């Protein structure tokens, strides 16, 4: 009873204020709904096109990942090991069983299983034994370039390396190491380390690249492999000044009360 | 005024920002009395009287979930002085209140520092591309306020964009100072490098830009933290495993620490924090990401709710370029130890003798 009475008093007291507020609320509602509808349920992880996660609840009120409504990037990991497999042996790395996992790239590269059966199948006059151009200049094949657009703009090595330096000659769904042995697409580090030894050493020690999960040195970690962050074909990228491709940034911070824009930040106190 | 507050407290959990007068959820008696602990301190002599009134208010309103900042919470001790039982009581009280408020099972962890652990952080400024994913990962993890109005959006990490600097032959005759007819200085005062002066609100279509470098800044978890020295109620302090934390319940909102911090790391809850239920992270730590109240200071605590359980901080996990590294400084095998051993590192504003455990490095 007392509560009811006090409620009505309150309503009477702040009625005016309330009307104004609820009008504003109504205006804000559709915008809010649109934003909710736009929230992507699939987000990309490091760079666009390399690996994706689909948001789902792994526990009640606990998603595996949260995606950015602005850029579609993964912004928060509820389950850092989602969709991972054991990393496999890595020379110089002695990690207990099950403590190092990676996101398999093979599934993602859906084309790969077909490469070795459809075209590069080892049959036909050009392949038996495999004959490769002596000048190590690949003949442009339109079908190939249509399937892998990066090839038309191949930059890696600036003309000093070619396809077969990284891809296995006969097993086209594999990469190749220094001994000519096939390497899985899930373990590109075994290949890239051939040339980028300093980076491999830093990656092994967790200085270069990225690991998520448990930070203690004995903990379980998901390792990001080379190609999850770098596109091996297109390694130079116009306006940037780093080894990483350009991405859209997340929104900038809120402006303080009464500040219309942040133009003052662009002015240096001493003109130049 | 006092009456004006009450209906808003009722709707506060849904749309707190629409409340004409913000209720002070820090205070159990606020909804009824509009009296906060800050007021109590100001009028020390009034303390006992106000407390009695507060108690009375709580007893009559005990069925209202939103007024349910129990009086035990109001009168609890400084976290560091609590016994284990008292900490447990405080934990249960908070879990009850948060679960009610956010409509889900909220856990408030009180795990202590583990022996043999000294947390450290390293950031590769050569790698950072200024994408701000770390900023927003931090918000997703740490239950910061995220309302649309000024003061309602709190971010702990700031990413500063600085010019690379460019020196041109054409400018050789433009000296300093200008207009005297005599060139007394050169033109190489053009901004360049890590000068801690630049843009926070940059927003290009794509980063990194060729003419910029980026430097994220947050709490450095100083070994000699000036913020701790100035806190009059000693509610902010350094934990045994390194991070500098805040017992939000004991904070009086005087902002002394914000003035003392040389790294612009601390944020103030000017309004009642706006935290939508569905976005609230239910895994919290008492000294970490549990929801805050209006009128208290907050800052980065290296995701204590994660790191106390060996998990990487949220910002480390989302950085697309792997610029952020975290580990145990006492473990020679950890990433940060390896970085200190092998790379060139620096501490920001080292001349202030704050001894940050946050190191910048480059390849
Ligand atoms: S960076 Fe600022 S808030 Fe963090 S410990 Fe140092 S002085 Fe305190
Ligand atoms: S997420 Fe990484 S690259 Fe992006 S701004 Fe933060 S530190 Fe820099």
Ligand 2 centre distance from Cα of residue B27 (Å): 37
Ligand 2 centre distance from Cα of residue A211 (Å): 15
Pocket lining: B132 vs ligand 2, CB cutoff 6 Å: yes
Residue of A nearest to B326 (CA): A215
Ligand 2 centre distance from Cα of residue B8 (Å): 38
Strand (E) or helix (H) holding B341: helix B335-342
pLDDT score of B209 more than 70: yes
| Residues A219, B310: C-beta atoms closer than 8 Å | yes
Does residue A23 lie within any of the structural domains? no
Name the pLDDT band for A178 (thresholds 50, 70, 90): confident
Domain regions of chain B by residue span: 38-106, 119-165+188-362
Between CA B118 and CA B114 the distance in angstroms is 9
A45 and A127 assigned to the same domain: no
Between CA B327 and CA A170 the distance in angstroms is 43
Ligand 1 centre distance from Cα of residue A207 (Å): 25
Three-state DSSP class for residue A56? coil
Does residue A28 lie within any of the structural domains? no
Residue of B nearest to A225 (CA): B322
Whole-number percent of chain A with pLDDT over 90: 36
Which is higher by pLDDT, A110 or B197? B197
A213 and A88 assigned to the same domain: yes
Per the document, the length of chain A is: 272
In this prediction, residue B4 carries a pLDDT of 37
Which mutation among B119, B354, B355, B357 tests ligand 1's pocket best, with the greatest number of atoms within 8 A of CB? B354
| Residues B131, A7: C-beta atoms closer than 8 Å | no
Between CA A113 and CA A51 the distance in angstroms is 18
Q: Which of B136, B176, B343 sits opposite A75 (nearest CB)?
A: B136
Does residue A144 lie within any of the structural domains? yes
Q: Which of A241, A250, A265 sits opposite B133 (nearest CB)?
A: A250
In this prediction, residue A22 carries a pLDDT of 41
A52 and A127 assigned to the same domain: no
Sort residue B276 into left (φ over 0), alpha (ψ -120 to 50) or beta: beta
A92 and A72 assigned to the same domain: no
**What average pLDDT does the structure give for chain B?**
83
Concatenate the DSSP letters of all residues of A195-218 into one string. Answer: T-HHHHHHHHTTSSS-EEEB-STT
Q: Dig out the tokens for B332 from the structure.
A: 């020679």
Highest mean pLDDT, choosing among A177-191, B68-82, B97-111: B97-111
pLDDT score of A2 more than 50: no
A103 and A237 assigned to the same domain: yes
Ligand 1 centre distance from Cα of residue B298 (Å): 11
Q: Which of A25, A240, A272 sits opposite B208 (nearest CB)?
A: A240
Kindly report the backbone phi and psi dihedral angles of residue B293, in degrees, each rounded to the nearest multiple of 5, phi listed first: -110, 170
Q: What is the side-by-side order of every strand in the sheet holding A221-223?
A: A85-86, A100-102, A221-223, A211-213
Torsion on CA atoms A47, A53, A58, A64, rounded to nearest 10:
10
- Exposure b/e, A126-159, CB count within 10 A at least 16 = b: eeeeeeeeeeeeeeeeeebeeeeeebeebebeee
| Residues B210, A45: C-beta atoms closer than 8 Å | no
Beta bridge partners of residue B360, listed in sequence order = B123, B346
pLDDT score of B82 more than 90: yes
pLDDT score of A13 more than 50: no
- Distance to chain A for B105, nearest Cα, Å: 9
Asked if omega into B50 is within 30° of 0 (cis), the reply is no
Between CA B159 and CA B152 the distance in angstroms is 19
Pocket lining: B126 vs ligand 2, CB cutoff 6 Å: no
What are the CA-CA distances from residue B229 to residues A122, B178, B259 (Å)? 73, 45, 12
Q: Which of B129, B137, B189 sits opposite A242 (nearest CB)?
A: B129
First to last CA, chain A: 72
A92 and A203 assigned to the same domain: yes
Of A175-179, B40-44, B125-129, B215-219, the range with the lowest mean pLDDT is: B40-44
| A29 DSSP assignment | H
The last residue of a domain, from among A79, A104, A134: A79
pLDDT score of B348 more than 70: yes
Count of structural domains within chain A = 2
Q: Region B14-27: what's the mean pLDDT?
A: 36
Choose among A159, A180, A169, A165: nearest CA to A235.
A159
Can you tell me which atom of ligand 1 is nearest the CA of B244? 5
Does residue A60 lie within any of the structural domains? yes
Q: Dig out the tokens for B161 from the structure.
A: 């964009």
Does residue A257 lie within any of the structural domains? no
**B322 interaction partners in chain A (CB closer than 8 Å):** 208-210, 224, 229
Q: Which of B189, B201, B283 sits opposite A270 (nearest CB)?
A: B189
- Give Cα A38 to chain centroid, integer Å: 20
- Distance to chain B for A176, nearest Cα, Å: 26
Pocket lining: B134 vs ligand 2, CB cutoff 6 Å: yes
Residue of B nearest to A2 (CA): B60
How many helices and strands, by DSSP H and E, does chain A display? 6, 12
Of A133-142, A166-175, B52-61, the range with the lowest mean pLDDT is: B52-61
A47 and A161 assigned to the same domain: no
Three-state DSSP class for residue A175? strand
Which ipTM value was assigned to this complex?
0.81
Between CA B55 and CA B74 the distance in angstroms is 10
In this prediction, residue A53 carries a pLDDT of 92
Does residue A128 lie within any of the structural domains? yes
A203 and A220 assigned to the same domain: yes
Indicate the pairing of strand A221-223 with strand A100-102. parallel
Concatenate the DSSP letters of all residues of B180-225 into one string. Answer: SSS--B-STTS--SS-S-SBSS---SSBS-TTEEEEEE-----SS-
A215 and A106 assigned to the same domain: yes
Name the pLDDT band for B33 (thresholds 50, 70, 90): very low
Residue nearest to atom 7 of ligand 2 (CA): B128
In this prediction, residue B177 carries a pLDDT of 62
| Residues B311, A254: C-beta atoms closer than 8 Å | no
Pocket lining: B318 vs ligand 1, CB cutoff 6 Å: no
Does residue A110 lie within any of the structural domains? yes
A88 and A213 assigned to the same domain: yes
Residue of A nearest to B334 (CA): A217
In tens, the pLDDT along A25-76 reads: 444 444 444 444 455 589 999 888 888 999 999 998 899 999 999 999 999 9
A72 and A116 assigned to the same domain: no
Q: Region B218-247: what's the mean pLDDT?
A: 97
Query: Which CATH fold would you assign to the domain B119-165+188-362?
Result: Alpha-Beta Plaits (3.30.70)
Does residue A25 lie within any of the structural domains? no
Question: Residue A72 sits in which domain range?
Answer: 40-79
Q: Region B5-14: what's the mean pLDDT?
A: 36
Highest mean pLDDT, choosing among B172-186, B191-205, B321-335: B321-335
Of A86-100, A194-208, B99-113, the range with the lowest mean pLDDT is: A86-100
A44 and A92 assigned to the same domain: no
Q: Region B35-42: what's the mean pLDDT?
A: 46
In this prediction, residue B176 carries a pLDDT of 65
Between CA A121 and CA A127 the distance in angstroms is 8
Of A232-236, B184-188, B348-352, the range with the lowest mean pLDDT is: B184-188
């Amino acid at each position: 009873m007392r509560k009811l009475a006090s409620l009505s008093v309150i309503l009477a007291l702040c009625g005016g204020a309330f009307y104004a507020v609820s009008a504003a609320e109504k205006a804000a509602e559709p915008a809010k709904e649109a934003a909710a509808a736009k929230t992507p349920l699939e987000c990309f992880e490091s760079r666009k096109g390399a690996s994706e996660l689909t948001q789902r609840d792994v526990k009640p009120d606990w998603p595996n990942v949260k995606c950015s409504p602005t850029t579609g990037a993964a912004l928060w990991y509820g389950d850092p090991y989602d969709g991972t497999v054991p990393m496999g042996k890595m020379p110089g790395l002695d990690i207990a069983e099950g403590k190092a996992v990676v996101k398999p790239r093979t599934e993602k590269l859906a084309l790969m299983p077909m490469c070795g059966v459809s075209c590069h199948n080892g049959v036909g006059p050009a392949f038996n034994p495999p004959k490769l151009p002596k000048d190590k200049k690949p003949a442009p094949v339109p079908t190939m370039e249509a399937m892998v657009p990066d090839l038309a703009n191949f930059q890696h090595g600036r003309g000093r390396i070619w396809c077969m330096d990284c891809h296995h000659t006969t097993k086209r769904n594999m990469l190749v190491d220094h001994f000519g042995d096939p390497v899985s697409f899930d373990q590109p580090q075994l290949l890239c380390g051939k040339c980028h030894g300093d980076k491999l050493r830093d990656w092994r020690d967790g200085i270069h690249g990225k690991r998520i999960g448990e930070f203690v040195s004995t903990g379980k970690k998901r390792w990001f492999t080379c190609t999850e962050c770098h596109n091996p074909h297109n390694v130079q990228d116009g306006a940037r000044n780093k080894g990483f491709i350009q991405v859209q940034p997340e929104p900038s911070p809120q402006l303080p009360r009464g500040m219309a824009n942040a133009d003052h930040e662009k002015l240096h106190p001493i003109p130049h | 005024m006092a009456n004006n507050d009450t209906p808003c407290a009722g709707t506060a959990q849904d749309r707190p920002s629409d409340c004409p007068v913000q209720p002070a959820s820090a205070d159990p008696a606020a909804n009824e009395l509009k009296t906060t602990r800050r007021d109590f301190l100001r009028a020390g002599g009034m303390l006992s009287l106000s407390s009695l009134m507060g108690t009375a208010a709580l007893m009559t309103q005990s069925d209202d979930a939103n007024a349910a900042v129990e009086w035990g919470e109001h009168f609890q001790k400084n976290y560091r002085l609590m016994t284990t039982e008292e900490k447990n009581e405080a934990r249960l009280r908070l879990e009850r209140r948060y679960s009610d408020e956010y409509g889900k099972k909220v856990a408030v962890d009180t795990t202590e520092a583990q022996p043999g652990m000294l947390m450290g952080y390293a950031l590769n400024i050569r790698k950072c591309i200024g994408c701000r994913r770390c900023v927003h990962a931090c918000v997703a993890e740490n239950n910061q306020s995220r309302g649309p109005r000024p003061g309602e959006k709190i971010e702990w990490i700031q990413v500063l964009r600085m010019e690379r600097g460019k020196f041109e032959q054409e400018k050789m005759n433009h000296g300093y100072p200008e207009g005297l007819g005599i060139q007394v200085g050169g033109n190489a005062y053009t901004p360049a490098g890590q000068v801690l002066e630049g843009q926070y609100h940059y927003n290009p279509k794509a980063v990194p830009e060729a003419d910029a470098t980026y430097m994220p800044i947050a709490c450095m978890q100083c070994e000699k933290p000036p913020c701790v020295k100035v806190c009059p109620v000693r509610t902010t302090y350094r934990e045994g495993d390194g991070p500098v934390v805040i017992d939000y319940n004991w904070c009086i909102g005087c902002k002394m620490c914000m003035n003392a911090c040389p790294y612009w790391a601390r944020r103030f809850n000017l309004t009642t924090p706006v935290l939508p239920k569905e976005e609230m992270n239910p895994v919290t730590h008492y000294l970490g990401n549990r929801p805050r109240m209006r009128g208290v200071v907050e800052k980065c605590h290296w995701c204590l709710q994660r790191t106390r359980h060996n998990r990487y901080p949220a910002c480390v996990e989302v950085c697309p370029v792997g610029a952020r590294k975290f580990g145990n400084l006492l473990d020679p095998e950890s990433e940060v130890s390896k970085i200190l051993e092998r790379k060139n590192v620096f501490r920001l504003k080292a001349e202030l003798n704050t001894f940050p455990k946050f190191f910048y490095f480059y390849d």
